[in-house]
Structure 1
Amino acid sequence: MERVPDALTAEALAAKEALELAMEVGCDRVILEVNCAELKVILEDSEGFKSCIAGICFDITELARSFVDFKVEWVPREANSVAHCCSSLVSSAERSMFWFDDIPDWLEGLVSIDCTPMNN
């Protein structure tokens, strides 16, 4: 994203775009996974609308009302190799990539790793 002042704003804008896409393709149950704990807190706190990203948070909250079931989950960066890898593929010329019917093998492998619980 161009001209974004900080990581919090970038993550909020990405979340908003993701929810718009989810609505466009007809999803009715959505879990929004964020790796920015601050964004999760802001979205779940009524005081969050006093933050510097209040307008984006309002948009996200309104989009969330469109789904039958919606929740926000924080996922540590170490458990989110899919987002990291996918974000490194986009460029200013090609901002979006979609895999609905034919998911690449490398992506399935990353999802499998991210979704496998670690034993402590």
Structure 2
Amino acid sequence: MAVFLAASDETTGEGIFHQCGYVAPLTIWTDVFVPAWQKEVLDGPPELDEFHITALRSPAWREEHCISAGDAEARIDAAVALIGRTKGLFAVRSTIEGSHFDSQASGLQFRFE
């Protein structure tokens, strides 16, 4: 038996709902990806609690968190490089018409037990 974990995000643009992310065996996340992400992307200086492209590209957010534009771009580059070189991490994507998503699935929530 294999246990997989996924990390994803969604957005709607130009009438299309997009869900994208990565899936990998649990051991790839826990033994490879998460430790490297912490070391290469989140650890400072300055240390980041979270990684959000929108925040890293916001001058106001960077000023508040004392990170330069160059350092923010370096973190983004490090994240992209790590994703690209992690063996066993696979990209997944789903796109559907936004109106269909809105009428059939908007507001659904998952509950883990």
Query: What range describes the TM-score normalised by the shorter chain of this pair?
Result: under 0.3
Larger-gyration structure (1/2): 2
Say which structure is richer in helix: 1
Instruction: Judging by fraction of residues, say which structure has more strand.
Output: 2
TM-score w.r.t. the length of structure 2 is: 0.23
TM-score (normalizing by structure 1):
0.22
